[in-house]
Structures are given as structure tokens and as C-alpha cells.
Amino acid sequence: MKTVIFDLDGTLADTSGDLIAAANACFEALGHGAMLDMAADQATAFAGGRAMLRLGFERLGVSDLEARIDEQFQPFIGYYGASIDRHTKVYDGAVQAVQRLLDADYRVGICTNKPEGLAEELMQRLGMRDMFRALIGADTLPVRKPDPAPYVETVHRAGGNVARSVLIGDTVTDRETARAAGVPSVLVTFGPTGRDVADLQPEALLDHYDDLFGVVEGLLA
């Protein structure tokens, strides 16, 4: 069974606004004001909560950087969970592209470094959760991407075969995950880094979800 596994943040949906808002809420609660910019810091948002907290604290010039990040990570999760879909938008054509895969008897799943509970909640709110047979988050297994184990487990839970699967993502983490699993990767170009993801040398680039089916068919033929 041919299988397509998707990353979530920056791949299926632009979640950067809600992620940055949650990080800024941490800094505002500490009396520093908003330390991240909604537009300029999108790429950091897709690198995760710790990356955003690190950037903000670096801008503040704190000396105990890692300790401050650890201290604020759970508050960040709380702020994010409370307003998880205020700004988030599914990328244009994504729903239709996933449905076309399903109509062609593909298996589809999600492999993300977002905590599983948050990923489940977000996909439910976006109205897309029932489209995916499997969802593996950062804390589902003892390891996370770029370790290949979460990807392999997602394929298996989706009912697919790793040898006939492909990963759709947006960052170096997704590229390294695919390489470690021995499968092709497709990186989207509609994220904050645009076509610079070509430097990661994925097997294919995706400029719009309208093109997904043809790209995947070509890779898994």
C-alpha cells in the first residue's frame, strides 16, 4: 500500500502565528514584552517552542539561557494549548490534496515533533483528523524526528509499507528523517524559507498542493 506521511507545522498548516503568540505570552508574563515578530520569526516558530524561547532569551542577553528555556517550556505549552487555532490556517489546497490521495487508495498519516496531544487537538479543530489513519507526535515514542523510528511507526500504524512511502515536510529535520528511513522526501516551498529548501536536496519540491498527487506518483511509481 502506497503511503504518504506529512509533517504538520509548516507543512499541512501555517501554525506560526499561534506558536509565536504563545512564546510572546511567556516573555510578556516575565515583564519583557513581545520578543518575537509574527512575520520575521516564522522560520524559528516552525523549529519549535524551545527554539522560539531560545531566540527571545538570546535577544534579552540572559546568562542562564538553558535554565530559562526549561523554566518557560511548560508555560509555553499552556499558552499554546489555550489558543491553538486562533491564527492557524491550513495551506491552500491541502485538504483537497489529501482527499485525492485517499480516493486513490493511498494511506496517509502525520509524523510531527509537536506533542501528540496538541497535534491531535489541532487536527480536530482544523477538521482534518479523520482523514489520517495515524498520528505520531514528539512524545508518542521515546525518540522524535530526525530519528526514523517515529516515521516508520507512523507508516505502520497507517497500514502502509515503508518501502513504498514518502515524507512531506518543510525543514532539515524532515529531510534528515527521510534520509534515515531510506525514503524520498518532498519539501514544500511555501514556508518562510521559500525555495531555499532546495539546498537540502530533497527528492522533490512542492510549490502548491495542487501538484502533490503528481509528485508523489512520480516518486513511488
What count of other Cβ atoms lies within 10 Å of the Cβ of residue 207? 12
Question: How many whole angstroms separate alpha carbon 7 and alpha carbon 46?
Answer: 11
Sheet holding 204-206, edge to edge: 134-136, 107-111, 3-6, 165-169, 185-188, 204-206
User: Is residue 168 within 8 Å of 106, Cβ to Cβ?
Assistant: no
Nearest to 109 by CA among 2, 221, 5: 5
Grid coordinates representing 143 are 525518540
Helix axes 49-60, 65-82, angle to 10 degrees: 130
Question: How many whole angstroms separate alpha carbon 90 and alpha carbon 14?
Answer: 6
Residues taking part in catalysis? 7
Whether cis (ω within 30° of 0) applies to the bond prior to 202 is: no
Using DSSP's 3-state secondary structure scheme, residue 109 falls into: strand
